[in-house]
Each structure stands twice: as structure tokens, then as C-alpha cells.
Structure 1
Amino acid sequence: MSVIRQPEVLGRTTRRRVVGITAALSAAAVETVGVGLWFGLVVSSRTTSTALAGLGVLFCGSLLRAGVFSATVSDLGDLLEPHRLGAAIVLTTGWVVWLLVAELIGGSVGVAVGTTVLAGVLTVQFILERYVFRLPANRGVTYTPVVPGLLLAAGASALLATAWFTDWGVSSPPLSLGFTTVVVQLIALHVGVLVFGLFAFLAHQRRFQRILGS
């Protein structure tokens, strides 16, 4: 029997797609803001205060992203439960390890090795997050999110490359706004954040599509 003859099937499929895209947009937005702010802080200034502030932003972003996943696949619940905090800590640690590995090796090789390490950590974290937040009835479905991990790591490599290997900026003419003059500046890092956000959306969209369709 065709799907057209089963409107309830078509309705469920459409709802899953809408929910998946909405969740992917939300998760990607949270991840882009959290990782982007953290990366901007630690790259621009290497002081203890900025490192701690960036780590706090990164952890809050990881916790919020976990909340988006939880609200999509089950229920929001208490994000401060130990096992849920653990999933956020693994994600936060993965980003820190990625940057440390890339910086210790340096150059394009450092970017490649750091990206590979990050892809592995993200894949493990996605699996952990699934088992932490999924309903017990859905835990029997086998799904290894290698592709989402690779996509998100690829976005991270683009972010790192724009900070290390490019040095350009475009500024607008001074704009007079009352008693204030504003200059809008676009630098390579901003483009890197946008590229990262795009890859984050693609990664989460594929992830939610597979999970909600299972």
C-alpha cells in the first residue's frame, strides 16, 4: 500500500523531519555560539582568566546542547544528574583536547591530527549521549554516529585553519549613529565560525534524522 493511502504514515514522517530539522538548528546554534566564543577567547588572549571564562562558556554550551538532545528524543529532565553532566564533560574535554593536540603538533599536520582525534571523541560522545538520554525501549537500535562526528570535526578544522593560516579583514566605512561612530569589521575567523555552524547543522541533522527514524 502506498504512503498516499496511509496519511498517518506521511504525517508521522513529516513530523519527524520537522522535529529533526528544528532540533538540528537548535543544537547547531548552541554549539556554534559555545565553541565559537570559547575558541575566540582562548585564541585572542592566553591568560588564566580568559581560559577559565572560555572553559565555562564551553561547558555551558555542551550542557545546553545535551538539553536539546534530551528534549528531542525523550524529555528534558534534570540536566544536572551525574550521568548527564558526564556527557557534557566528555564533550567539553573533547574540544579542549582537540585544540591542545593541534597546538602541540602545529601546522597543517596538527590540524589533521587534532581533527582525527576530535572525530573519534565526538563519535564516542554521541554514543554516550544517546545511551544517557534515550528511552530504554529505543536502546536496542544499533547506530554508530561516525559521519556526524566527522562532519563536526571537519567544521572545527575549518575554524582552526581560518585562525592559523589566514589573516585578512574587511571593514566598512565609519557609520555615524547619533553621537557614536560604528565600524563593522569582518575577519577570517568570523567566516570560520559560519563554516563551523554549517557543518554543525549538517552533523546534527543527520544525527537526529537517523535517531528519530529508528
Structure 2
Amino acid sequence: MTEQRLVVLISGRGSNLRAIHQACTSDDLPAQIVGVISNRANTLGLRWCQESHLPTQIIAHQDFPDREHFDHALAMAIDAYAPDWVLLAGFMRQLTEGFVARYLGRLVNIHPSLLPAFPGLQTHQCALTAGVRWHGATVHFVTPELDAGPIIAQGIVPVLAGDNPETLAARVLELEHSLYPQALGHLLRGDCRWENGQTLWRQPYRSPQMQAINPELLR
């Protein structure tokens, strides 16, 4: 299988970036990270990229008068890498409709909730406030509407007695590190694809919509 080119967008520590890179280097993914772009300087994610010899670029959003100008500069930087896929991995910017249209069907995000529940920010606090018993993460195609694109895969974790936003976030983040590479594997192998605003799975239907729960967490 031909190795596919990934550009990853980050804003912070880049832990999902690391998980994706590990999957690439261990041959779990037929892909190579050809560029990492951050909208913030001096992040832990950028420092890790430098140590790992991954090409990086900083496009600071505050250097632009509006989202349209920032997204144009971001798109120019992305296109220079000629990627097959553009991956959002903790990229804390809402993208314009024009930017999303440019990469529609190959722009992917991971969100820390079971969408469509709890889009946007503060998802773990929202889950606790709502009193749900299950929480998790969603890998999805990006569309102009925030956190509303077609779902590729989801994973779940239980909400435990005594959880606070920090403990719940840590459990979800651990799940993300396995869920994101698994979902990307399905995309890169052609198991599923974007078609007419939906995630279409190759027959026979093989969608891994829910990742197995660790039974230890239920004890």
C-alpha cells in the first residue's frame, strides 16, 4: 500500500500527534507525518516535534486581522506539504467554511465527547453536570458546523463515582490515543470514506463505532 502523507495541526501538547506518529513508525499506519503546524509558539507539541525531527511551522493566529486571512495562510502552508490528509489534533481554532471546503472529505478531527453530545469546549464538565454514565471521544470528518461532521469512530469510558473534570479528561485522553490511530487506519486502508456528507463503509459493513470498554473500569 502506498504510504500516505499527513499534515497535523496542533495548539498544545500534541499527545494525539505522538500517538499518530507512533502508529506510523510502527507500521500500524501506512503513512508519514510530513508536517506539523501550530497556531501557538513554544508549545510542548512543537518541542517534541523538534526532538523527533518532524518538520514544523508556526502560523500564529494573532498575526492576522481575521479568521479568513489566518485560514488562507494556513491553507498555503498545508498545501506546500501536498498532504493526502489534514488531521486536527487538539487544534483550538474554529475553521472557516472556505477552509473546510478546500479539504472536505480529508479533514479529520478528534473531539472529547460522544458527539452529538457536548460539542465545543468544557466537554468533561458538561458530561458531569448532565449526570451521564458514559463519556468518550469521537473521530469525525470536519464540516463547517462545529463538531457536527459525519462520525468515523467512537470510543467510550464510564463516568465513575468521584470523577471530576480532570480525572475524566485523563481517562478520555488515554482512549483518544488508541482511537485516533485506529480510525485513521480505516480511512487510509479505504475501509470507509466521505461520500455526500456521510461516512460510507465498505461492504460488508465493518464500522467500529464503539471501542471495547476496559472491564477493569467497571469493577
TM-score clears 0.5: no
Whichever structure has more helix as a proportion of its residues is 1
TM-score, normalization by structure 1: 0.28
Give the structure with higher Rg (CA).
Answer: 1
TM-score, normalization by structure 2: 0.28
